Each structure stands twice: as C-alpha cells, then as structure tokens.
A = this chain, B = another copy of it.
Amino acid sequence: MTDMPRAVILLSGGLDSATVAAVARSEGFELHCMSFDYGQRHRRELESAAKVANALGAARHLVISAPGLGDIGGSALTTDSIAVPKGRSAAEMETGKIPPTYVPARNTIFLSYALAWAEALGAADIFIGVNAVDYSGYPDCRPEFIEAFGRLANLAVAAAVEGRMSIKIHTPLINLTKSGIIRLGASLGVDYSLTWSCYSPNTDGRPCGACDSCILRAKGFREAGRIDPQREGGRTA
C-alpha cells in the first residue's frame, strides 16, 4: 500500500500500451495493469504483458479470463475461419475501411472491465493506448468514442454517482504517430524488446512481418530512426 493514486492500465502487451503504462508511472500513479485472455490467436501478447508489467513495477497484473468474447465471433483475431490480412501498406490501411481484424465492441468491453476494477480499487484514472493516427481504422480508437465512454463511466458506477470519484479516461497516445509513440516510450525507458505486436505469428514463433500490426510497428521504428529490438534479438517466443 502506497500513497500513490492508483490507476488501471489496459495492457495488451503491445508497444502502445507499454508506452501508456510508462506514461502513467511517470505521472506518479501506482500501476494496476489489466489484460484479457479472450481466445485471441496472438495469445503470445499475454506473456509480453506480464513482462512489461513486471519491468514497470506494477502493483498488480490482472489477466481477465473472458473466453465468451471469442464465442461472439465476427473477427479474424478470434477465429481461424477469417483470414488476417497480410501485406497491406500503411496507405491501404488509411482508406477508412475497417479490416477483418476488428473485434466487435472490443474496446467497449475492455474499458467496461477496467471501469469495474477501477471502482473496486478506488482508482479514478483509467489509461488506454488508443491511437487515431497510425492505426487500423477501428472505430473504438477515436476521440469521440473515448469521450462518450467517459460520460458513460460517470453515470455507470456507484462511486461516481455518489460523488466519491470522477472517472477519467487517459489516452496519452491518441494524437501521436507510431514513431512519436516510440520516441516517447524510449524517453521513459520502455524496453520494447518485451512487447509483442503481431496478430498472426509464424509457426516458429517469430512475428509475421506482414499483418497490419507488424507493418505499423516497422514503419514506426523506421520513422523514429531506431532499430526494433524485437527484430535485433531474432526469435522472441
């Protein structure tokens, strides 16, 4: 138990959420990191989340078991029957068309669980690594979605309705490019070798290098003028 205010951090294990967690730590919050096991193909990211939480000195890392999310369907990330797109350029991602890796209402569900935990912990602050610049076009990464969730949150939970806390959704990356995110994280000492981005790893455990998430990651490191430590280290699984 510390005197630091508590924050709930949605931590996927990717580079965005690792950066967000480092930002929250730099702002003086005690980190309560939350990840989800929802039957995603790239469950490898959960190991990365645990390493990132540990490296950042999180007070707790809670992995929420939510297998029901995989039963709902509708996404290439939770079923083998829909292919993960490969080899799209960043320009193709920017057409505004939402790709099949979109998981229906995923950030709504994740933020709802974060809200529940925040209330149980007495934490008024929730951090999420959404980004509306270098992203795949998911609607639940946009500022208007986050603002609507913040309004909802303060009507939803007893602690807010009774005036004991005002929930704030922090999105420190929302207006940054991927290279800007990497520069920010590097300045805060984030070890990106611990993070995982690939949606569809090769059978040898390496990132595929061709899914949207790998392509955005590579573009980010290139534009930041840095070498991705995951590539440098070779096989990471």
Q: How far is the CB of A35 from chain B (nearest CB, A)?
A: 10
Instruction: Answer whether A139 and B115 are a contact pair too, CB < 8 Å, given A71-B64, A149-B152.
Output: no
Contact between chains at B148 and A152 (CB < 8 Å): yes
Contact between chains at B116 and A157 (CB < 8 Å): no
Q: How far is the CB of A61 from chain B (nearest CB, A)?
A: 12
Contact between chains at A142 and B155 (CB < 8 Å): yes
Query: What is the 8 Å Cβ interface bit string for chain A, positions 158-189, against chain B (1 contact, 0 not)?
Result: 10111000000000000000000000000000
With an 8 A cutoff between CB atoms, is A140 at the interface?
yes
Contact between chains at A104 and B68 (CB < 8 Å): no
Query: Which among B72, B151, B160 is the interface contact of A113 at CB below 8 angstroms?
Result: B72
Q: How far is the CB of A161 from chain B (nearest CB, A)?
A: 4
Which A residues, 35 to 82, have Cβ-Cβ distances below 8 Å to chain B? 36, 62-69, 71-74
Contact between chains at A116 and B69 (CB < 8 Å): yes
With an 8 A cutoff between CB atoms, is A237 at the interface?
no
Contact between chains at A140 and B156 (CB < 8 Å): yes
Contact size range, A: 35 or more
Instruction: Answer whether A108 and B139 are a contact pair too, CB < 8 Å, given A74-B116, A113-B72.
Output: no
Chain B residues within an 8 Å CB radius of A103: 116
Contact between chains at B98 and A158 (CB < 8 Å): yes
Chain B residues within an 8 Å CB radius of A149: 152
Closest chain B residue to A154 by CB distance? B148
Query: Which among B98, B102, B120, B145 is the interface contact of A74 at CB below 8 angstroms?
Result: B120
Given the complex of chains A and B, what is the CA–CA distance between A86 and B58 in angstroms? Answer: 39
Contact between chains at A115 and B120 (CB < 8 Å): no
Chain B residues within an 8 Å CB radius of A152: 108, 145, 148-149, 151-152
Q: How far is the CB of A5 from chain B (nearest CB, A)?
A: 18
Given the complex of chains A and B, what is the CA–CA distance between A113 and B186 in angstroms? Answer: 36
5 A-B residue contacts at CB 8 Å? A65-B68, A103-B116, A104-B116, A107-B156, A142-B155
